[in-house]
């Protein structure tokens, strides 16, 4: 009985960790030509959805108001190999989606097309960004209605997809551990070779100094 409770607690902790890891919401401010980039560590074969909306600062009212329709945001996403997997311009409020094919740090950059609009010249823009990763991108209400699932079936499906996301995250952590191990081994090997080279250099210098001193003493007829 105690073991079952412990397993349930461990599973709950893992699920909570996945939930808070793969859902992030924030807002930030950008200027007219400013570019903001964010780093997301994402496992492979994982869907990412980003929802954003913009607010333009009104100097007269001294508050942020919904941006005009003409104002757009340019979104660019790069994978860990610096390959562009998404590059597109959206409106003042929108949603972008992409799927990771390489595990690691993905760079998500946003900037406005404000230089085209005098309305925004010299002003500040507030961007609300909500990033969802993995199974959090699913709309379970739509899935239940489409597949005609009962509440129990829907819960089971959610649990299966959460476990699948946990497995992807574990695989990614193993991938990171393997890369770190390779880096450590490579560094240790380089340090070893550098130590060997230093030792050989010191031995060669010592041998040269001994021969030089011997030649000096012989020239002075001290030996």
Domain ranges of the chain: 24-136, 139-222
Structure tokens of 117?
Answer: 């609009």
Could you identify the residue written with the tokens 């040269």? Answer: 208
Residue 30: alpha-carbon gap to chain centroid: 21
Question: Are residues 68 and 119 in contact, defined by beta-carbon separation less than 8 angstroms?
Answer: yes
Residue 11: the pLDDT is 40
Residue 205: the pLDDT is 92
Residue 62: the pLDDT is 76
CB atoms within 10 A of CB 66: 12
Q: How far is CA 207 from CA 111, 210, 220, 222, in A?
A: 64, 5, 20, 20
CATH topology for the 24-136 domain: Jelly Rolls (2.60.120)
Structure tokens of 205?
Answer: 């210098």
Q: pLDDT tens track of the chain, all 223 residues?
A: 434 344 444 344 344 444 444 456 788 888 767 888 988 888 888 888 889 888 887 777 777 888 776 778 899 999 998 999 999 988 888 889 898 888 888 999 998 876 544 455 456 788 888 888 876 666 667 667 777 777 787 787 778 777 877 887 888 888 888 888 888 988 999 999 999 999 999 999 988 988 888 787 777 766 5
Could you identify the residue written with the tokens 């890891």? Answer: 21
Distance (Å, rounded) from C-alpha 132 to C-alpha 109?
16
Residue 82: alpha-carbon gap to chain centroid: 12
Question: Are residues 124 and 30 in contact, defined by beta-carbon separation less than 8 angstroms?
Answer: yes
Distance (Å, rounded) from C-alpha 163 to C-alpha 81?
28
């Amino acid at each position: 009985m105690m073991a079952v409770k412990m397993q349930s607690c461990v599973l709950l902790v893992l699920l909570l960790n996945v939930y808070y890891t793969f859902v992030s919401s924030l807002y930030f401010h950008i200027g007219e030509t400013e570019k903001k980039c964010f780093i997301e560590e994402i496992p492979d074969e994982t869907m990412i959805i980003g929802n954003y909306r913009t607010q333009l600062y009104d100097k007269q009212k001294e508050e942020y108001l919904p941006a005009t329709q003409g104002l757009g945001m340019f979104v660019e996403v790069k994978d860990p190999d610096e390959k562009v997997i998404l590059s597109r311009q959206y409106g003042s409020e929108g949603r972008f989606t992409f799927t990771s094919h390489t595990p690691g740090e993905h760079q998500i950059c946003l900037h406005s097309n404000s230089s085209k609009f005098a309305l925004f010249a010299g002003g500040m823009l507030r961007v609300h960004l909500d990033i969802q990763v993995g199974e959090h991108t699913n709309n379970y209400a739509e899935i239940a209605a489409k597949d005609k699932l009962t509440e129990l079936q829907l819960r089971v499906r959610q649990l299966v997809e959460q476990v699948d996301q946990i497995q992807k995250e574990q695989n990614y952590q193993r991938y990171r551990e393997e890369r770190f191990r390779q880096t450590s081994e490579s560094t240790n090997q380089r340090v070893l070779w550098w130590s060997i080279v230093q030792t050989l250099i010191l031995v060669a210098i010592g041998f040269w100094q001994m021969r030089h001193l011997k030649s000096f003493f012989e020239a002075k007829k001290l030996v």
